[in-house]
């Protein structure tokens, strides 16, 4: 008999301190919905759900007819399920990790190295850079999702330098003048002026940062208490970040990086060397399998300011939304296909009036998450139909066709990660 290529997974939860608490967290809500046995602790953060075969959170197979216990074990013994190109290109491993994130407090200001830099950093400091792979990431909002992404247009930064003297103090008059003078120059001059300003900021002495930040916090608080709107200098966000990370240089980074509030279904793609930070909200995230992150603020973890300032793409741009394309073959399918080989994410929104929906067969192993709706899944190799509801996660082997029967007339919302080479 053919090897069963489709089966449900029980996925690992990571309780990092920055996660949303208890049932405020979408991670916890998905978990509670898919597994009636799950007990949600209201005093515990539910930060991430890992849907993949990463050794620190290898998904368990929820089918006791299958002898392997975890997805990682199963893939290593059934390599053809990856798809022939994926198997060869990524040495028999699933190339991506698919996640749900529920963010309560900001994650660090960070960027991920490209492959070349990742190899170099890993050689030099393997304790901080545990592997030699790049780590492109994509976040698609499930709820309103706030993050920082890429450098703002220079004009915006210049305006903040005028309106926020505490910021200008840290950057200094020379670098400030250089940036102001660069607005009409070519992009290389602007990039180097931007690098100089950002580096001055990030390399400021700790005590000076603490001092200027407390002046700014005091000024914003007083103005806000007097009824003045401080949104032109992101007053509310500054106070919020300062409360989470008092005295942290990362609080000032909001004046350099674009602030994005994604609506459900909107996405940002974090290619190599783009500075970013997730601030608040719930999203699905897909990334290449790697741990290489260079951090420079809003974190108690190891920070490496010189490497970060050196590696970043100093390309100012307002345009940071990553747009999906509508499938020609399937009217319910949107495809988020970033310019990296490691992963693609698909979103399927199927109206509840449809009784049966066919999931497109692709030449790649994939992982399917049910965010809304209730179905039974069947496939040529599955022995019995698999019931799935909100929070359910399904592994689908390469080239396997899966049919979903809607068991209630409720709209379906599904996300699927795969690797289209």
List, as residue ranges, the binding site. 110, 112, 137, 276
Q: Which is nearer to Zn ion, 45 or 147 (CB)?
A: 147
Stretch near Zn ion under the rule CB under 5 A, chosen from 44-52, 125-133, 135-143, 214-222: 135-143
Q: Least distance to Zn ion from the beta carbon of 97, Å?
A: 12
Q: State the minimum distance, in angstroms, from the CB of residue 137 to Zn ion.
A: 5
CA distance 335 to 346: 5
Q: Which stretch binds Zn ion (CB under 5 A): 2-10, 137-145, 187-195, 303-311?
A: 137-145
SS3 assignment, position 13: strand
**Dihedral Cα 277, 280, 282, 286, nearest 10 deg:** 0
Choose between 108 and 366: whose C-beta lies nearer to Zn ion: 108
Residue with Cβ nearer Zn ion (137 or 166): 137
Question: How many residues comprise the chain?
Answer: 421
Question: Known binding site for Zn(2+): residues?
Answer: 110, 112, 137, 276
376 within 8 A of 387, measured Cβ to Cβ:
yes
Q: Which two tokens stand for residue 169?
A: 């103090």
Q: What is the CB-side half-sphere exposure of residue 322 using CA atoms within 13 A?
A: 20
DSSP lists the bridge partners of residue 344 as 418
Q: Which residue is it, tokens 């899966």?
A: 402
Decide: 346 and 181 in contact? Cβ < 8 Å.
Answer: no
Q: Is the Cα torsion angle 391, 72, 138, 342 positive or negative in sign?
A: negative
Q: At its nearest, how many Å lie between Zn ion and the CB of residue 18?
A: 13
Query: Which positions from 192 to 211 touch Zn ion by CB under 5 A, shown as an x/- string?
Result: --------------------
The CA distance from 297 to 305, in Å, is 8
User: What is d(CA 234, CA 252) in angstroms, rounded to the nearest whole number?
Assistant: 10
Are the beta carbons of 173 and 297 closer than 8 angstroms?
A: no
DSSP 8-state symbol, 120: H
* Number of chain positions touching Zn ion (CB under 5 A): 1
Applying CB under 5 A, which part among 52-60, 136-144, 361-369, 376-384 lies near Zn ion?
Answer: 136-144
Q: Token match 């139909």: residue?
A: 385
Nearer to Zn ion, 137 or 400 (CB): 137
Our CB check for Zn ion shows the closer of 140 and 220 to be 140
Phi, psi of 264 (to 5 degrees): -50, 130
Residue number with CB closer to Zn ion (106 or 406) = 106
Question: Which range touches Zn ion (CB under 5 A), out of 129-137, 204-212, 222-230, 407-415?
Answer: 129-137
Residue 265: left (phi > 0), alpha (psi -120 to 50), or beta?
left
x/- letters, 18..37, toward Zn ion (CB under 5 A): --------------------
Spatial contact of 294 and 111, defined as CB atoms under 8 Å apart: yes
Choose the stretch contacting Zn ion; rule: CB under 5 A; options: 5-13, 39-47, 132-140, 166-174: 132-140
Does the annotation mark 295 as catalytic? yes
Q: Which is nearer to Zn ion, 149 or 209 (CB)?
A: 149
Closest separation in Å from C-beta 262 to Zn ion:
15
**Crossing angle of the two packed helices 154-163 and 187-202, in degrees rounded to 10:** 40
In whole angstroms, how close is the CB of 268 to Zn ion at the nearest point? 10
Q: How far is the CB of 242 from Zn ion (least distance, A)?
A: 22
Minimum distance from residue 345 beta carbon to Zn ion (Å): 16
Active-site pick, 152, 295, 320, 374:
295
Euclidean distance between CA atoms 337 and 348, whole angstroms: 14
Cβ contact 252:197 at 8 Å: no
Q: What are phi and psi of 101, to 5 degrees?
A: -120, 140
Q: Which long-range contacts (CB under 8 A, 24 or more apart) does 169-173 make?
A: 169/208, 169/212, 170/200, 170/201, 170/204, 170/208, 170/209, 170/212, 170/252, 171/197, 171/200, 171/201, 172/200
Q: How far is the CB of 110 from Zn ion (least distance, A)?
A: 5
Residue whose CB is less far from Zn ion, 139 or 359: 139
Positions marked catalytic: 295
- Judged by the rule CB under 5 A, the positions of this chain that interact with Zn ion are 137
């Amino acid at each position: 008999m053919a090897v069963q290529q489709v089966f449900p997974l029980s996925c690992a939860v990571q309780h990092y301190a920055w996660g949303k608490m208890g049932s405020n967290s979408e991670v916890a809500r998905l978990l509670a919905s898919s597994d009636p046995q799950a007990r949600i602790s209201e005093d515990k953060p539910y930060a991430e759900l890992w849907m993949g075969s990463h050794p620190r959170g290898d998904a368990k197979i929820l089918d006791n007819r299958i002898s392997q216990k975890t997805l990682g074990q199963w893939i290593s013994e059934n390599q053809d399920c990856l798809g022939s190109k994926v198997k060869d290109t990524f040495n028999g491993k699933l190339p991506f990790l698919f996640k749900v994130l529920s963010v309560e407090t900001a994650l660090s200001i960070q960027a991920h190295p490209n492959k070349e830099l990742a190899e170099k950093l890993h050689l030099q400091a393997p304790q901080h850079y545990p592997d030699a792979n790049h780590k492109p990431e994509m976040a698609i909002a499930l709820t309103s999702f706030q993050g920082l992404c890429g450098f703002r247009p220079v004009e915006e930064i210049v305006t903040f330098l005028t309106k926020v003297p505490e910021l200008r103090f840290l950057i200094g008059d020379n670098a400030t003048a250089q940036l102001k003078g660069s607005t009409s120059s070519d992009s290389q001059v602007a990039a180097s002026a931007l690098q100089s300003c950002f580096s001055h900021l990030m390399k400021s002495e700790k005590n000076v940062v603490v001092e200027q930040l407390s002046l700014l916090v005091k000024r914003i608080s007083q103005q806000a208490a007097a009824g003045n709107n401080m949104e032109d200098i992101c007053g509310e966000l500054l106070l919020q970040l300062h409360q989470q990370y008092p005295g942290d240089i990362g609080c000032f980074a909001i004046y350099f990086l674009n602030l994005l509030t994604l609506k459900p279904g909107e996405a940002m793609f974090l290619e190599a060397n783009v500075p970013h930070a997730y601030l608040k909200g719930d999203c699905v995230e897909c990334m290449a399998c790697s741990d290489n992150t260079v951090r420079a603020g809003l974190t108690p973890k190891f920070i490496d300011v010189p490497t970060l300032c050196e590696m970043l793409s100093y390309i100012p741009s307002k345009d940071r939304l990553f747009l999906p394309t509508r499938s020609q073959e399937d009217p319910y399918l949107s495809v988020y296909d970033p310019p990296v080989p490691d992963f693609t994410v698909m979103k399927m929104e199927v109206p509840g009036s449809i009784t049966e929906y066919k999931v497109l067969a692709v030449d790649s192993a994939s992982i399917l998450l049910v965010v809304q709706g209730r179905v039974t899944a069947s496939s040529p190799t599955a022995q019995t139909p698999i019931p799935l509801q909100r929070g359910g996660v399904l592994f689908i082997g390469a080239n396997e066709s899966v049919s979903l029967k809607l068991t209630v007339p409720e709209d379906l919302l599904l996300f699927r990660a795969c690797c289209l080479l």
